[in-house]
Amino acid sequence: MLSDIELLLKLQVIDYDLGELERSKEYIPDMMENLKREISEADEICKKTEKELSESQILQKNLELEVSTRQEELKKLQGQMMSIKTNKEYDALIAQIDSVKEAINERETQILELIEKIEKLGGNIDDIRRKSQETREQNEKQLEILQEKMDSVGSKIGIKDDERKRITVQVPRRTMSVYERVRKNRGGDVVVTVKKRACGSCYKALPPHRIQEIKRGDQIITCDNCGRMLIWKEGESE
């Protein structure tokens, strides 16, 4: 019967490995999606900054052109002052001149604000580009590693399944039935060691005669509380 316990311990390790492989099929895609999202977000920030910088530079040039045009218009209006004959014409011309001056002042204020914005964007753009590139390079390397792991999960599961089948056919059907029932209902380890005269899983105290039966190892002993299979580990005090 001790050989059955040894087989169950091996089976337990295989089941643990299978569980980890199955979980990796769930979390690896999530990790890959997060890495892809980081690349996309970094690229988006870079593109947004470049677009904002370009639009600001174009707007600055357009405003400067408008100021230049307005200044030419102002010169022409000011040149008409000498030909004014009536107060009404004078008042109308002054109103035009003031309007043009106001427009020039507004545009010049906008230009100054844009210059400050462009300087700030220009100072940040190199760092943003570098960060975007670094994020892409680092994450793509991680994606390659994760993809390789993902690709290998299926074959590893197949290998473990074959190992499991080779073991389960060697274990008595009744014993396997107990093992599978506990594994399904309780999860975690099915075969546990006695610790401090108690079940190593639920810590239910064991009577002396039960401990002696477990030590002999000539039959499968289960915990009356959690149903797990109990084994004795050399060096454990009675």
Q: Report pTM.
A: 0.62
Same domain, 32 and 147: yes
- Indicate which CATH number applies to the domain containing 93: 1.10.287.1490
Same domain, 39 and 103: yes
From 220, 224, 237, select the one nearest 5 (Cα to Cα).
220
Residue 234 confidence (pLDDT) above 80: no
CB-hemisphere CA count at 13 Å for 163?
A: 18
Residue 2 confidence (pLDDT) above 80: no
Q: Are 26 and 176 in contact (CB under 8 A)?
A: no
Q: Is residue 165 part of a domain?
A: no
Q: Are 232 and 224 in contact (CB under 8 A)?
A: no
Same domain, 49 and 93: yes
Same domain, 106 and 43: yes
Same domain, 34 and 72: yes
Same domain, 60 and 119: yes
Same domain, 58 and 146: yes
Give the pLDDT confidence score for residue 238 in this predicted structure: 53
Q: Is residue 89 part of a domain?
A: yes
Same domain, 143 and 194: no
Give the pLDDT confidence score for residue 84 in this predicted structure: 86
- Banded model confidence at residue 199, pLDDT cuts 50, 70, 90: very high
Same domain, 143 and 216: no
Residue burial 117-148, b: 16+ Cβ < 10 Å; e: rest: bbeebeeeeeebeeebeebbeebeeeeeebee
pLDDT digits (tens, 9 = 90+) for 120-145: 999 999 999 999 999 999 999 999 99
Q: Is residue 181 part of a domain?
A: yes
**For residues 7-35, average pLDDT:** 93
Give the pLDDT confidence score for residue 235 in this predicted structure: 64
Contacts of 34 (CB under 8 A, 6+ apart): none
Both structure tokens of 113: 């604000």
Same domain, 189 and 146: no
Degrees to nearest 5, angle at CA 7 with 6 and 10: 90
The range of the structural domain enclosing residue 123 comes to 25-152
